[in-house]
Chains A and B, each alone.
Chain A
Amino acid sequence: MNRHLSDDEIAAAVAAEKLAPERARHLEDCVPCRREVDGLLELIAERRRALEAEGPDFEKQRQQILEGLAHPAAPVVALHRRHIWRPILAAAAALVAVVGIWLQMTRHRPAAVLRPLPVEQILSDVDATLADRSVPGFESLDSMIPAPDEMASMIDDTKTAS
């Protein structure tokens, strides 16, 4: 198969993924495909070298680390101390917030609770409204409900029939 590698296959080759055997063979033999893959790998390697050139004096760094082994406590202890205080401070802050909210709520609640509802007044208003035949909308309802004497004769008829 002489078809050149696709973009996907070249990306796969650069990322060191396994190509199908015949595609891998093609890559070995095909100069343009090889150039594509090697070109990108060389560029990446070049950037890595540039990054590495920024590195510190590694022998000096090693010596500093070994010296640090003799006094390891300083940074670690500082870290622990901060970690111990953090939850305590968080709990204290939460407690203050809860107490604050509770105080706010208790300060406003009595006014709302202590004022009694005028239940009797409301019920008598409702009765008066229901008794008022002039209220629009009740007429149709009245025409649907039979009068009490009509209702009694309807009940008698039902009993006689049964």
Chain B
Amino acid sequence: MRATAMRSVEDEPGQEDMALWRQAREGDPEAFGELVRRHQRRVWMICRQYVGPDEADAAAQDTFLKAWSRLESFDGRAKFGTWLTRIAINTCLDRIRRRKRRGTVAEEGAGEDGPGLLERMPDERVDPERWAMQRQAVERLGACEERLSARQREVFRLRFYAEMDLEEIARSLGIHVGTVKTQLHRAVHRLRRELGDVR
């Protein structure tokens, strides 16, 4: 039955989400499992940007459990993915607040790259020199992101790493789409200037 519903709307991913959401709301865990499968990478990437790689998995799981318990509150005005993103961001902010209350505030940049990040980049030993330069450039990009303002960094990462469109970012952060555009433009402009000839 779900397969039929999905086939009839397969050209519209938002509609597929809506069909799955309706089934999940009726208590169908399989439909919810499909929603998880469709959004879990993006949710994990969002969580990673806020709480760092060590906590991202737990935060992502929390996000989906909260979403499951609040399926009734989704009114369909925004995309399901946007609604989920909002829950993910709030979950991460809660975790950061709790961390601060416990006095275990992670050091600046805890949400950032662990030492092993670059080691996990796809191996391209065919051209070691190019590979080394690329590693250096990626590392430099990460460092430059840290120097952006908090809002610029947030918007930049949601746009490019969580691959959200501008409208979705605006809705998720509760800001105007014009503000998102401005912040993104400034972030790119600054990164480009700071990266200089590394690119």
Binding site for B on A (CB under 8 A): 7-8, 10-12, 14-17, 39-40, 43-44, 46-56, 58, 61-62, 64-66, 68-69, 72, 75-76
Contacts and interface: CB of A to CB of B under 8 A. Distances in A.
B192 A11 contact: yes
Q: Is the interface of B mostly helix, strand, loop or mixed?
A: helix
B74 interface: no
Contact of B192 (A14, A17, A56, A75): A14
Contacts of A7: 189, 192-193
A50 B29 contact: no
A15 B134 contact: no
Interface of B: 29, 32-33, 36-37, 40-41, 44-45, 48, 53, 56-57, 60-62, 64-66, 68-69, 114, 116-118, 120-122, 134, 137-138, 141-142, 159-161, 163, 166, 181, 184-185, 188-189, 191-193, 195, 199
A56 B68 CA distance: 21
* Top-5 shortest CB links A-B: A11-B189, A53-B120, A11-B188, A50-B121, A56-B57
Contacts of B161: 47-48, 51
A51 B45 contact: yes
B181 to A, nearest CB: 7
Contact of B141 (A17, A47, A68, A75): A47
Contacts of A68: 61, 64-65
Contact of B122 (A12, A17, A40, A53): A53
B41 A52 contact: yes
Given A49-B122, A52-B41, A55-B41, A66 B33 contact: yes
